[in-house]
Structure 1
Amino acid sequence: MATKRRNPSASAPSKTTESTRKYTRPGVEASVRLRSLSPISDHVDGWDRALSRYAAMIRAKGGTRLADLDARREGLPLARRCDRTWPRIADEAEAAPAAAAGATSLTKEQLLDVIVEWKFLKGKPRNALWPLLRSNADASVAAASRRAFAAADGIPKTMSVDASSDGDDASRYATEIAAAVSRLCEIRGVGPATASAVLCLYRPDVFAFMDDEVIECLYDGKRGYTLKIYLEVNDRCREIASQLNMAMEERKGDLEGSSSSSSGGGWTPCKVGKALWTVATMSANDDERGLSTIFDCDAARGPIEKNDSTLNSRKRTKKG
């Protein structure tokens, strides 16, 4: 399943389109603005400052409870596995023995008490899913997650985004990502969004989390939670991460001695998603001072305009 590759610095819709589009989630205009900064090489510091505010916005969004859940989620044994060196698993036939030998798996308790609780508090709760989620057996959650992680192990860490890239490589890359997501979706009540919340921990270098704000920022159609939409959104996060890393590499001499919140492997699709969500949340919380540090080169433009749908959504959020 191939996804259309884009240049994130040049693929943003026209100003007219952006100014007339109605977003359902508060603050998305700010993440669109961050995404649209061009050339991206001139705005690496802004992206980095956005990412550095993630923890503060987690607390602003859900208080101590969400901050604690976020810390518990990041501390799960499956997190950050991509920081180690792992052999590429060529296909599922080779992956099966690895899974059977006791590869990392997710428990039902971790899924329900950490991943889902975190996802529902950070975004919109979908309480109708609880009966389905609770109906899963412990063994089925473990087995499906082992298969998903084995599939994720087979995905190369990077793929070229040059115009000269082989289309077959892009198609195979998307197919491998889809396979890992689909394995987790075998768990009842788990869709692509919840699957991405797990996989972005296991392979943050490949998977972004499917936040509502990130979908609306990067997907041109109506927000949805299908595998097709996830593949497109994730692909755009990967392309942005690739361009940020290339820009950082070019500026390597200038950045020596500087503090970068994107350090420790550079930018990943997961970090790009976090930065976009953070900026949207800052805007939703009227953090104009914080936003000005991110968009300092555009400070003269003044506060970000918020359309009617955003304001109404914010009112609904505060009433709730």
Structure 2
Amino acid sequence: MELDFKCSDIETWKEALSSYESRIESLNKPDLVSLDQFYRVNLPSLLHDRDPNPYLTTSELSQLMKWKLSRGKWRPRLLDFVSSLEDSVVKSASEKAFKSLPDISKAVKELTVLKGVGPATASAVLAAYAPDIAPFMSDEAMEVALGNSKDYTLKQYLLFVTKLQEKSKELKLKGEWDGPSDIERALWSCTVRSTKSQPEKSSSGKKRKR
């Protein structure tokens, strides 16, 4: 199914969201199903078990990066970068980021000091801890919500967050809806469903951390 971002029918959004797990499975990528389980279920639980001072470890960041790259485009150097980070550095940066919420701009800046971590990866970290505030900055959802999936700046992410938060609030007025992260997953599911049979275009241009 196609999903127009302007759509205000909550049942249409729920249908899109309900197809998420089957879309993950349909990609037939090694370990993606287990990585997605780790990212959406296990990692949030681990982080919240560490309240009131939640933090991320290097191992967890590495697994998160594997999930992000498996669900999107594989960029092996990013995985190498984050896997080589010292645990104390990752712990410190993530702890500061989580404490910065709900100031998303500050939280992203705290995380992007880490080598290999750009706004998109930072958004995945924040979404794991606070999915009701910060959605993951996926190419697919960015394309539908903003019409542009190639701008990975903090400014673009904040615009993306605002749009998804507003859409989430709109849907909550119509029925049961969790938050902006479910908007992202619904958009991703529909985009993957409509493009999975098409060959992926090769990317060009400058390499940048995401």
Instruction: Structure 1 unaligned segments of length 5 or more: list them.
Output: 1-26, 85-98, 156-175, 249-262, 287-313
1:273-312 equivalences in 2 (<5 Å):
273-285=184-196
Could you tell me how far apart the structure 1 residues matched to 2:126 and 2:186 are? 18
Give the one of 41, 50, 75 matched to 2:41: 75
Give the one of 131, 134, 140 matched to 2:83: 134
Could you tell me how far apart the structure 2 residues matched to 1:61 and 1:80 are? 27
Could you tell me how far apart the structure 2 residues matched to 1:183 and 1:122 are? 24
Could you tell me how far apart the structure 1 residues matched to 2:128 and 2:78 are? 22
Could you tell me how far apart the structure 2 residues matched to 1:79 and 1:215 are? 27
How far apart are residue 183 of structure 1 and its match? 1.0
How far apart are residue 267 of structure 1 and its match? 3.0
1:39-78 equivalences in 2 (<5 Å):
40=8, 43-63=9-29, 65-78=31-44
Equivalent residues of 2:140, 2:149 under 8 A apart: no
Residue type of the alignment partner of 2:184:
G
How many equivalent pairs are there? 201
Residue type of the alignment partner of 1:188:
K
Question: Corresponding residue for 1:315?
Answer: 199
Question: Corresponding residue for 1:9?
Answer: none
How far apart are residue 64 of structure 1 and its match? 5.9
Question: Corresponding residue for 1:110?
Answer: 60
Residue type of the alignment partner of 2:18:
S
Give the one of 153, 167, 185 matched to 2:112: 185
Residue type of the alignment partner of 1:315:
P
**CA 1:183 to 1:140, structure 2 compared with 1: closer, same or farther past 3 Å?**
same
1:264-275 equivalences in 2 (<5 Å):
266-275=177-186
Equivalent residues of 1:78, 1:105 under 8 A apart: no
**CA 1:225 to 1:284, structure 2 compared with 1: closer, same or farther past 3 Å?**
same
Could you tell me how far apart the structure 1 residues matched to 2:28 and 2:158 are? 28
Could you tell me how far apart the structure 2 residues matched to 1:236 and 1:124 are? 24
How far apart are residue 236 of structure 1 and its match? 0.5
Could you tell me how far apart the structure 1 residues matched to 2:25 and 2:38 are? 14
CA-to-partner distance for each residue in 1:81-126, whole Å, 9 max, x for gaps? 78x9xxxxxxxxxxxxxx9x971111100111x1000001100112
Question: Corresponding residue for 1:239?
Answer: 166
Residue type of the alignment partner of 2:40:
E
How far apart are residue 221 of structure 1 and its match? 4.6
Equivalent residues of 1:207, 1:270 under 8 A apart: yes
Residue type of the alignment partner of 2:27:
K
**CA 1:62 to 1:186, structure 2 compared with 1: closer, same or farther past 3 Å?**
farther
CA-to-partner distance for each residue in 1:235-290, whole Å, 9 max, x for gaps? 11101000000122xxxxxxxxxxxxxx5xx330100000000111111246xxxx
Identify the structure with bigger relative contact order (alpha carbons < 8 Å, sequence gap 6+). Answer: 1
Could you tell me how far apart the structure 2 residues matched to 1:72 and 1:103 are? 21
